[in-house]
A and B are shown apart, each in its own frame.
Chain A
Amino acid sequence: DQQVKQNSPSLSVQEGRISILNCDYTNSMFDYFLWYKKYPAEGPTFLISISSIKDKNEDGRFTVFLNKSAKHLSLHIVPSQPGDSAVYFCAAGGSNYKLTFGKGTLLTVNP
């Protein structure tokens, strides 16, 4: 059973517009959530996180929103840039250091 779901395998947006990547989870014991970005031939790199006690966290062009009642989080990138083109993984964790990842969404930002 997939506990963390990214239902969109891919997303294409124009440079300068907003990119919205979505993630759903089923385990109510998750208490923190992260987004990772992955370029080809590299390991994933941490982008932004949010604790379950918050509903929003912002870092520059990146904002993560958490809706606990809906068990849904989203990553907003504004404005999108061609260098943002990568695979984005949503991950969720609880108290045991274990992270559960979604399958990833390939974002393509077109110039």
Chain B
Amino acid sequence: EAQVTQNPRYLITVTGKKLTVTCSQNMNHEYMSWYRQDPGLGLRQIYYSMNVEVTDKGDVPEGYKVSRKEKRNFPLILESPSPNQTSLYFCASSLHLGTQYFGPGTRLTVL
């Protein structure tokens, strides 16, 4: 089954404790992206990657890092999480311009 998976689905952590949210797709898509969804703000792009070893900032990259060492994986790293990074995070992938396929989401709470 073609899908985008994210882990963990739910995470509660404390300020300053490094964490990684994994994202994996099995569709051989070149393009992958991370978004965060906040009430009243919709979906905002954090980082995106157009291929292996090619990443670029989205609209809200501060406080986040990404890497794309393999085509299928695109982890999101929070080196020192803060409460304002409490949010719902989505990973997405696409083969070409247009339709992006989204993962189920990761709800992160930073205390």
Question: Total number of A-B contacts with CB less than 8 angstroms?
Answer: 58
Q: Which residues of A contact B103 (CB under 8 A)?
A: 43
Q: Which residues of A contact B41 (CB under 8 A)?
A: 103
Which residue in chain A gives the minimum CB-CB distance to B43?
A101
A46 to B94, CA, bound (A): 11
Q: Which residues of B contact A93 (CB under 8 A)?
A: 97-98
Interface readout for A81-111 with B: 1 if CB under 8 Å, 0 if not?
A: 0000000010101011111111110000000
Interface readout for A45-82 with B: 1 if CB under 8 Å, 0 if not?
A: 11001000000000000000000000000000000000
**Are the C-beta atoms of B44 and A34 separated by less than 8 Å?**
no
State whether A44 and B98 are in contact (beta carbons under 8 Å apart), knowing that A97-B31, A98-B48, A99-B45 are contacts in the complex. Answer: no
State whether A103 and B98 are in contact (beta carbons under 8 Å apart), knowing that A97-B50, A98-B45 are contacts in the complex. Answer: no
Instruction: Kindly state whether residue A41 has any CB partner on chain B within 8 Å.
Output: yes
**Are the C-beta atoms of B100 and A89 separated by less than 8 Å?**
no
| 8 Å CB contact of A34 from B45, B58, B59, B98 | B98
Q: Which residues of B contact A43 (CB under 8 A)?
A: 4, 90, 92, 102-105
| 8 Å CB contact of A44 from B40, B44, B50, B102 | B102
A62, chain B: closest CB distance, angstroms: 14
**Are the C-beta atoms of A44 and B90 separated by less than 8 Å?**
yes
A49 to B99, CA, bound (A): 8
A104 to B40, CA, bound (A): 8
A49 to B54, CA, bound (A): 27
Q: Which residues of A contact B35 (CB under 8 A)?
A: 101
**Are the C-beta atoms of A97 and B97 separated by less than 8 Å?**
yes
**Are the C-beta atoms of B42 and A103 separated by less than 8 Å?**
yes
**Are the C-beta atoms of B97 and A95 separated by less than 8 Å?**
yes
29 contacts between A and B (CB under 8 A): A6-B42, A9-B40, A32-B97, A32-B98, A34-B99, A41-B105, A43-B105, A44-B43, A44-B90, A46-B100, A49-B98, A49-B99, A91-B43, A95-B97, A96-B50, A97-B31, A97-B48, A97-B50, A98-B45, A98-B58, A99-B33, A99-B45, A99-B100, A100-B59, A101-B43, A101-B44, A103-B40, A103-B41, A103-B42
